[in-house]
Amino acid sequence: MTWQTVLTLLCPLMMLFCMKGMFGGNKDSDKSAKITSEQPQVSTEELQALQIKMAELMEQNHSLMKELQSLKEDQSGKSAANV
């Protein structure tokens, strides 16, 4: 057998494995859909607390980004002064 023949025979086999993987992946998404439907509902108070916490974290992230930007600008100013 030549290499061309071997590669030609491997192509359909590889396609079968790929197709099995594609169709097997659908079973996992069905399981995740069942899991999310079985999860308990979050109360309104818990939802509000989570929204407040998220807003606080976003504000903290914003201030840290500003601080990081100012540090980068200071660092670039110092390196330009040294040149």
Same domain assignment for residues 29 and 1: yes
Residue listed under structure tokens 């974290």: 57
Distances (CA, A) of 69 to 13, 62, 63, 64, 77: 54, 11, 10, 9, 12
Q: Going residue by residue through the chain (83 aa), what tens digit of pLDDT does each one get?
A: 687 888 888 888 888 888 887 777 666 555 666 666 666 788 899 999 999 999 999 999 999 999 999 999 998 887 777 76
Question: Would you call 45 helix, strand, or coil by DSSP?
Answer: helix
Q: What pLDDT sits at residue 17?
A: 82
Give Dmax over CA atoms of the chain in angstroms: 71
Give the structural domain span for 32. 1-36
Model pTM? 0.45
Q: What pLDDT sits at residue 83?
A: 61
Same domain assignment for residues 27 and 54: no
What is the tally of structural domains in the chain? 2
Q: What pLDDT sits at residue 51?
A: 95
Same domain assignment for residues 21 and 56: no
Cα–Cα distance, 72 to 68 (Å, whole number): 6
